Structure 1
Amino acid sequence: MTRILAATTVALMLAAGAAQAEPVAYTWTGYGTNVPGSGKCPTYKMVIDLTVDGDIVKGRFQQDGRPERTFETTLGKNGAIKTAAMVGGGGLMDVIGQIKDGDSKIKLDGYCVFEGKLTKK
């Protein structure tokens, strides 16, 4: 009886592990658009990468010539993403997006706006 219970427990654990989805990686590369008071954003190239593991979203972004920055959040209702990330000089970039099959997108809004459709890696 103990062996049967142990075997059943192991089988259930294996089945639960197999049912968990693998992390999914996304990327976007593009140029910014100006916000009031800025004029050079269309010359700033940004790379945004993020990984979704269950409902945990971890991201990194890097503008050419600037340090890499990171953010972490959880998926909200309907795959929504919303958080803020620190940038140089104590500033913040709003991180807004959506992870949805066939319609994943990201937007960094701060000193410039960087936004576009995410593609799976």
Structure 2
Amino acid sequence: MFRVEGVIDPAQPVYVISVAAGLLQVHPRTLRIYEEEGLICPSRTETNIRLFSANDLRRILWIRHLTQELGVNLAGVKLLFELEERLGERILERLYEEGRDERSEKATAKGARR
């Protein structure tokens, strides 16, 4: 997973869409779709250029984890984000931990069969 700490405030928007997409290994259109669906809200310059912060990139990683690893569709991701905001709990962290535990158990079981 990628990490940006110390030098830049994680809330400061600094990455244009092409750089953000490159760091996350996604197509820029994917980021536009996430924005259209209301899953992310990057900042905009006076000339309307999208700028992403490290926090935005972290959120996009969550979206990718939920959709690609757990099979949640974008409507489901949006609902999870809304619930998390309403409840004030770290729902996504719990899902991630459960997923990590499940993957670890599968890897252990697979290793035991060899």
Name whichever structure is richer in strand by fraction: 1
Name whichever structure is richer in helix by fraction: 2
TM-score (norm 2): 0.23
TM-score (norm 1): 0.22
